[in-house]
Amino acid sequence: MAGNKGVAYVGKGTVEIQDIAYPEFVLRDGPGVNKANVGRETPHGVILKNVATNICGSDQHMVRGRTTAPEGLILGHEITGEVVEVGRDVEFVKRGDLVSVPFNIACGRCRNCKEGKTGICLNVNPDRPGSAYGYVDMGGWVGGQAEYVLVPYADWNVLKFPDRDQAMEKILDLTMLSDIFPTGFHGCVTAGVTVGSTVYIAGAGPVGLAAAASAQLLGAAVVIVGDLNADRLAQARSFGCETVDVSRGDPKDQIVEILGVPEVDCGVDAVGFEARGHGHDAGTEKPATVLNSMMDVTRAGGGLGIPGLYVTGDPGAADAAAREGSLSIRIGLGWAKSHTFATGQCPVMRYHRRLMMAILHDRVQIAKAVNATPIALADAPRGYQEFDSGAARKYVLDPHGLLSHA
């Protein structure tokens, strides 16, 4: 049996590479594993040799100590790999298949899965609807920033690439299908982005940049990206976006300079609960700032897509209300403007096959848009540190040295 190594959260601000158990077709006890899931058998699963597994901004929330994630949790929910073992109940996935894994773990059998709401599967997390690999309060499924990982309900969950050689040529693009590309796309779709739209995207991290590329793919006329980080704003401009530096003040004042009017058709929040203030408050955490500014700059009758993460437990929040996810949002403003709001995990399976085809047929260059940067699994601690400091990169871990040509 092969060994295994994974990226473990070991305390606020720190991850390390640890020797971990090779996956089995049963969920064993460990950090973060829901006790009701211990011993759960997964003959419907496959074991993957990870080809690419990415560091996500959502992982950073845990590593910063801004969630209730336990020490020792193996991180990682953005997984692309080769099938090396197949459970006895798997019918259609074969050894040697190269696949993308949605970060949502879904059974394919429950009411929500049958309705396409795979981000809130009812059968994989005893605590609440919805589950993910290597994430706090998501059932305790072992994370994929590792050499090998178990994927349950494989016939339902994995997306097989049609041609292995073609896929490896575009692997840095295809690895974004597990999360940030569908998530950014979902934010735009739920905000109502279509041909000719004007769009404001708050946040120029990887999800925000993926949302910007998605807005372009959907036919937006103007895509405006707002952030505090000059390097990330430059990355957004590198593929044709307009930008707003919110450290200069209210985004509305810069949007009017770009569009001639102080509002957009659609808004996408790709920041989430660790939002900073604008202008003089740019150095201060103000978690409701982005939501309130989006309502301010989105036209009456417009839509707000909110793929940015908001949590029910934030031990590092500045006040008691925010520690339990209660924010001072101007819901009256959104009501008065008849805004639509869409929140929650992206149901990746709703989009990933179509986005795969867009990648394979050169309709989008998502890896270039997010500045995908491969690094060795052993360099994950450095990747986390640089990403946390604001690097304008999407770090892609290479556990087996298969991305050297990418």
Q: So what's the pLDDT on residue 314? A: 85
**Domain 5-179+348-398 CATH superfamily:** Medium-chain alcohol dehydrogenases, catalytic domain (3.90.180.10)
Partner residues linked to 342 by β-bridges: 305
Section 145-154 average pLDDT: 98
Residue range 305-330, pLDDT digits in tens: 999 989 888 888 878 888 888 989 99
Residues 6+ apart with CB under 8 A from 164: 98
150 phi, psi to nearest 5 deg: -90, 135
| CATH T-level fold of 183-343 | Rossmann fold (3.40.50)
- What per-residue confidence (pLDDT) applies to 177? 98
Average pLDDT over residues 37-62: 96
Q: How confident is the model at residue 400 (pLDDT cuts 50, 70, 90)?
A: very high
- Residue spans per domain, the chain: 5-179+348-398, 183-343
Q: Is the pLDDT of residue 127 over 80?
A: yes
Whole-number average pLDDT of the chain: 95
* pLDDT score at 279: 86
pLDDT at 393: 97
pLDDT at 406: 60
Question: Which tens digit of pLDDT belongs to each residue from 357-367?
Answer: 999 999 999 99
30 CB burial (10 A radius; 0-12, 13-18, 19+): middle
Residues β-bridged to residue 38: none
Q: Is the pLDDT of residue 332 over 60?
A: yes
Query: Which pLDDT tens digit goes with each residue over 234-268?
Result: 999 999 999 999 999 999 999 999 999 999 999 99
Q: Percentage of residues in the chain with pLDDT exceeding 90?
A: 89
**In the numeric block, which tokens belong to residue 290?**
């982005």
pLDDT above 80: residue 290: yes
| Distance from C-alpha of 69 to C-alpha of 72, rounded to nearest angstrom | 9
Instruction: Give the start-end residues of each E strand in 322-365.
Output: 340-343
Cα–Cα distances in Å, from 251 out to 48, 209, 262, 273, 403? 44, 17, 9, 18, 39
CB-based contacts of 238, cutoff 8 Å, min separation 6 = none
| Average pLDDT of the residues in 104-131 | 96
Structure tokens at 42: 């997964």
Beta carbons within 10 angstroms of residue 260's beta carbon: 7
Q: What 3-state DSSP class applies to 189?
A: helix
Render pLDDT for 168-224 as a digit per residue (tens, 0 to 9): 999 999 999 999 999 999 999 999 999 999 999 999 999 999 999 999 999 999 999
DSSP-assigned letter for residue 277: -
SS3 call for 18: strand
The predicted model scores a pTM of 0.96
Label residue 143 by pLDDT band (50, 70, 90).
very high
Where is average pLDDT lowest: 33-37, 47-51, 140-144, 396-400? 33-37
The mean pLDDT value for 113-140 works out to: 95
What pLDDT was estimated at residue 405? 63
Q: Is the pLDDT of residue 1 over 60?
A: no
Averaged over 68-97, what is the pLDDT? 97
Distance CA 9, CA 14 (A): 6
Intra-chain end-to-end CA distance of the chain, in Å: 29
Two tokens, residue 128 = 């609440």
pLDDT of residue 379: 98
